[in-house]
Every structure is written in structure tokens, then in C-alpha cells.
Structure 1
Amino acid sequence: MDFFQQVYKGKNNWWRYLLLSLVVFTPFFLRIFYFLFVEVKTKPTNLDSNFLLFKGLQQYVVFFVVLILGVRFLHKRPIRSLFTSKKKIDWWRYIFGVSSWGLFVLIYFSLNYFAYPESYRWNFKLVPFAILFLISITLVPIGAIFKELFFSGYLLQVFGVLTKNKWTAIILKSILYVLAVGISPIFSKVGFHVLFFYLASSLFTGIITALDDGVELAMGMQTANNIFAILYITTTWTGFQTNALLLDRSEPKVLFLVYIPVLLFLPIYFFLLKQMYGWERVKEKLSGKVIEPSIKNINL
């Protein structure tokens, strides 16, 4: 059984999908909107960014628990089936995803810094940064894992069983991801370019999840993205600034922000992963049909 077929280990009535999706997605969407457009803009001056970030991230713990419980008790299927079709969740894949994609993100930020050194100011303050670091290694991974579990795990499997087509499922979950996270102050600065970035990134995580029969690598990528974005560079033009090492005071540079990661880093990273994990039958895994397995194979 591949990753898409894991849904057949449980209950697949349409109302179960609708109920859990609404219970998880609605507050997730509203929380992002409220955090970016209400809480951040109206925060009292005595609340620092670390406290505000902590408040925002702790919500993901609740979302994560609700999603896990929903799969286990509403769909009545093993929690492992949400993560992978392997015999057990491969946390080494997650660690590799964090470290390897983290290296790409570090290269990306460094290229940006050395290309425009005049745009950056050293922003390091020991105590605020130490607190930010603790938040980043505790709550940020939970938020990142939740996002990929929900979009590249649950929704990918939902759309797979509903449409019976893997590529259609990958596209639909990516569009929904763009709708969820695309509403941010960065849109007013970068425009539709940022939607292209979000769409390409979500398509990529959907593709590697389908090829690897598990969401571990995608969770690692999301974790690396979020940790480095919070710790390394903050900007004056986003809706929320952190106590990061560097402050970018310039206007966003579309080339570095969108096209270098999408057109250069993602293809290189895909080739690296394909060679490392020996992915085969790529066309079948990405565009094949989602077929209900026989009763004999469901419990495998």
C-alpha cells in the first residue's frame, strides 16, 4: 500500500473528511489572519516580539493534537498512516530534511546578504535571541510538522481518495495551502510573485511525499524554513519582526525571494533526494490512480 492508500485503513465517509477539515482548517486559517492583521498591528508596546511569537505558535500544539485525535478516533485508523506507509515513522528522514534543506536555506540567506550587504544591520541581542532560540527549537517544529501533516498528509490523502488521481490531489492541496498562507503583509510588497513561491513550494512537498510514501522529508523542509526565517533574518516590511541575527531594512528583492529558491534550489534538492532514496516509478507515483486495495492488503 502506498501513501495515498493509507486512508483505506480507516473510515472514509465524506462527512468525516468534512468535519475534521473544518475543525482543523477553519481555526488555522482564522488564526493566521488574526495574528497577522489584528494582533501584530495592535499589540501593546510593552509586549515584545518573543512573547507574541510564543502566543502565536502555541496554537499549533492544539491544532496538532486535534488532527491526530481526529485521524485516530474519527477516521479510526492508525496515526502512523497519516505520516507514512512505511512500517514505522522514519524520524531520520525528518532530521535529514531539516539539516539538508537547512543548508540550502542558509546558502540562500547568505547569498542574499553578500549580494546586498548595505541592506542589513546587525540585530543581535543576547537575551532576546536566546529566548527566540528556545522558542524556535521547541514550538516552531510542532507548527511546521502540523502544517505538513495537515496539507501534505491529511489533505493530500483526502483529495486522493476523493478524486482517485494522485496528481490532482497534489494540485488541490497546494491550492488550498496558498489560500491559507498566501494572505500576509508580504503580498502587498511582492504581489503575485509570492503566490507563485507558495504554490511551487507546496507542489514540491506534495511531490516528494508521494514519491517517498511519507511526509517526513516535507516536515523537515518546513521546519528548516521556519527556524531559519525566524532566527537568521527579520525585515522591516513584513507584518512581524523577530529578534533575529540580522535586520533587512530594504524593500523585498523578488529575484532572491521567489525565483532563486524555486528555479535553482528546488530542482537541485529534488535530484539530491531522488538519488539518495532511489525513487522509482516516478510517473506512476505522481499521476497514477488511487486504487482501493483488497481487504487482505488493508492491514499491511
Structure 2
Amino acid sequence: MYIDQINNKKFNFILYLPIPLVFLGLIVMNYFATEDVNVEEMMQLMIDKLGTNLTFALMVGQLAVCCVILLFWVKFIHGQSIRSLTTSRKKVDWKRIFFSFTLWGTFTTITTLILFYLSPESFEINYDPIKFFPFLIIALLLIPLQTSFEEYFFRGYLLQGIGVVTKSRLIPLIITSITFGVMHIANPEVGKLGPIIMVYYIGTGFFLGIVTLMDEGLELALGFHAANNLIGALLVTADWTAFQTHSILKDVSEPSADYDVLFPVLVIFPILLFIFGKKYKWTNWKDKLTGKVHEYKPENEVINTIGNHD
């Protein structure tokens, strides 16, 4: 239903194309621009010149602006309500967003504390209230917009658009999950940890795509992604990560990645799917993940769809 609700005669493929072409084009350009550059050194030069907080704000702020542009395009160019881009429900379920945020935020905090307890030599106390609280304000303002853009673009705009064009649920799930992972290919983590980290990025894309299709909306994905980036940025930073922040802790260990990157993809994410599935009583998994997208028939539905502005 999340995809079906925009599958009608008002869907304009020509108007749909500019956003993904421009954004995906920028990803390709960014990748080739950084291919022969030491990203870690480039980041350090920016921090030395502008400061950590301003560098962070500029990096995250780009995607925050993209979020505003995307929502403007959807609402005023497509004439589609933001609600229908977010959910198939009559209104956005904020309880779902907060539940997902709290669940993953709590898990992230607990695991970070356990790692700090088990391996204190791998961390430094980085907390400086004079630097932390300005960063906290920047993070609270920008990170939810940054993560919302990624969700609205990949699990919203692309998932719905490709689903309408292909009349499939599985094809957009595969395409958006892989492109979500590829978007992170220029991150310094990839150069430091190696290509195996892409398993985590693409696996996360599949997890969030499955959540969106099964729950018929973006709410759980929005909450998870916001918690992942916000809580992570506030708790731990490192010299080799995409987010270098005035966080509470700094990871000073030598980074490495092996098959342990499979653990969240093969263990943690399935557990989360089980929790979400039980709580929200998900059924009919096969049809929701691999079935066909049906033509929207308003006489058979009770929700407002594209063309009804919220």
C-alpha cells in the first residue's frame, strides 16, 4: 500500500527523474573527486581551518538542505503530500518513530558502554562541555534532517518511484538497498576498513527497505537512522570516520574490519525485524516484499493519497 498509493495516472515519470539523476550524479562525481585524494588528510585540513563544529555543520548541512529541496519538489512539483511520501497511514505515526529511535539509541548506548568497559585503552575521554554543547545543538538541528533526507530519498522517493515504474516491490528494494550502500563508498571508513564494510552499508539498506515495506511506511526507518547517526555522533568519534565531532569519547584503537561486520547484518538486524514484526503484527511477508504493485483505487481505500496536500 505504501507504494500502491501513488500508482495512479497522476504519477509523472518525467518529473520524477531530475532528483535521482542529480543526486546520484553528485555521488559519482564525489567518488571520482576523492579517489586520488587522502580523505582523512583532507578532512583534517578542513578541521584545522574551520574548526570541528563548522566542518561538521557544512558536511551534514548539505544533506539537510537536500531534505528541504526534496520535500519541496514532492509537494509543489509532484503535488504529492508529504504524508503519502512518509506513510500509507492516515497520518504520520510519531510513536513508531520514537519507539524505533529509543530502541536503537538505547542499544547503541549500551553497546558503547560495554566496549568502553571491556577495552578502556581503546578510548579517550573526549568530553569538553564548552565544545560539546554547541556541537549538541548543531547535531540536534541537522542530523535528523540529514538522516531524513536519506530515508525520504532512498526508502521514499526511489522506492515508490521505481516500484510504480516496475510494478514490483522486490526490484526497488534491491536497487535502493545497493545504491544506499554505494552512496557511502567515498566515506573514509571504506578506505580505512576496506571494501568489506560495504557489506554493512548495503545490509543496512536492505534492513531499512524491508522495514519500510513490511510496515507500509518510513516511520521506523526514520527513527532508526536518526538514532544511529545522532547517538553515534554524540558518543564516539575517531580520526578516520566521516563524522569527526566533539563527542564524549574518542576511539583511538587501530581500526580493522573482518567478518565481524556481518554480525549486525546477520544477527542484530534480524532480531530487530522480529521485534518490529511482533509489536506491529506484520503478516504476509512474501507479498509485501516480493509481490506486485497494484493500481491505486480510491474507492477501495480510506487513506488520502497523492494530490491531497497535508
> TM-score if structure 1 supplies the norm length?
0.90
Is 2:215 the partner of 1:219? no
Moved more, 100-109 or 196-205: 100-109
- 1:22 Cα offset (Å): 2.5
Unaligned runs of 5+ residues in structure 2 are: 304-310
Corresponding residue for residue 5 of structure 1: 4
Is 2:292 the partner of 1:289? yes
Corresponding residue for residue 271 of structure 1: 274
Q: 2:124 is paired with a residue of what secondary structure?
A: strand
Corresponding residue for residue 113 of structure 2: 110
Distance, in Å, in 1 between the alignment partners of 2:140 and 2:260 is 24
- 1:59 Cα offset (Å): 2.1
Amino acid in structure 1 at the alignment position of 2:250? L
Partners of 2:126 and 2:246 within 8 A in 1: yes
Moved more, 236-245 or 74-83: 236-245
RMSD after superposition: 2.5
Distance, in Å, in 2 between the alignment partners of 1:124 and 1:33 is 36
Partners of 1:16 and 1:74 within 8 A in 2: yes
Partners of 1:10 and 1:75 within 8 A in 2: no
Distance, in Å, in 2 between the alignment partners of 1:61 and 1:237 is 23
Q: 1:121 is paired with a residue of what secondary structure?
A: strand
Corresponding residue for residue 191 of structure 1: 194
Distance, in Å, in 2 between the alignment partners of 1:44 and 1:190 is 22
Corresponding residue for residue 53 of structure 1: 56
Corresponding residue for residue 306 of structure 2: none
Distance, in Å, in 2 between the alignment partners of 1:101 and 1:44 is 29
Amino acid in structure 2 at the alignment position of 1:289? K
Distance, in Å, in 2 between the alignment partners of 1:239 and 1:22 is 24
Moved more, 228-237 or 3-12: 3-12
Give 1:50-89 correspondences, 5 Å limit.
50-89=53-92
Distance, in Å, in 1 between the alignment partners of 2:221 and 2:112 is 20
Partners of 1:10 and 1:77 within 8 A in 2: no
Partners of 2:196 and 2:258 within 8 A in 1: no
- 1:214 Cα offset (Å): 0.4
Distance, in Å, in 1 between the alignment partners of 2:31 and 2:148 is 16
Distance, in Å, in 2 between the alignment partners of 1:298 and 1:8 is 13
Partners of 1:182 and 1:198 within 8 A in 2: no
Moved more, 23-32 or 193-202: 23-32
Distance, in Å, in 2 between the alignment partners of 1:202 and 1:256 is 18
Corresponding residue for residue 43 of structure 2: 40
Partners of 1:40 and 1:240 within 8 A in 2: no
Is 2:158 the partner of 1:155? yes
Amino acid in structure 2 at the alignment position of 1:226? N
Moved more, 231-240 or 153-162: 231-240
Corresponding residue for residue 122 of structure 2: 119
- 1:82 Cα offset (Å): 0.4
Distance, in Å, in 2 between the alignment partners of 1:114 and 1:29 is 40
- 1:163 Cα offset (Å): 1.8
Cα deviations by residue, 1:213-259 (Å, 9 ceiling, x for unpaired): 00011011110010122111111333552111111111224269723
Corresponding residue for residue 204 of structure 1: 207
Number of residue equivalences: 299
Say if 1:208 and 1:50 are closer, same or farther in 2 by CA, change over 3 A. Answer: same
- 1:9 Cα offset (Å): 5.4
- 1:67 Cα offset (Å): 0.9
Distance, in Å, in 1 between the alignment partners of 2:218 and 2:139 is 21
- 1:260 Cα offset (Å): 3.1
Cα deviations by residue, 1:103-136 (Å, 9 ceiling, x for unpaired): 1212332333233221111111111111111112
Identity in percent:
34
Say if 1:217 and 1:33 are closer, same or farther in 2 by CA, change over 3 A. Answer: farther
Q: 1:195 is paired with a residue of what secondary structure?
A: helix
Partners of 2:214 and 2:289 within 8 A in 1: yes
Moved more, 184-193 or 214-223: 184-193
Give 1:232-251 correspondences, 5 Å limit.
232-238=235-241, 240-251=243-254
Partners of 2:123 and 2:252 within 8 A in 1: yes
Unaligned runs of 5+ residues in structure 1 are: none
Moved more, 175-184 or 139-148: 175-184
Corresponding residue for residue 91 of structure 1: 94
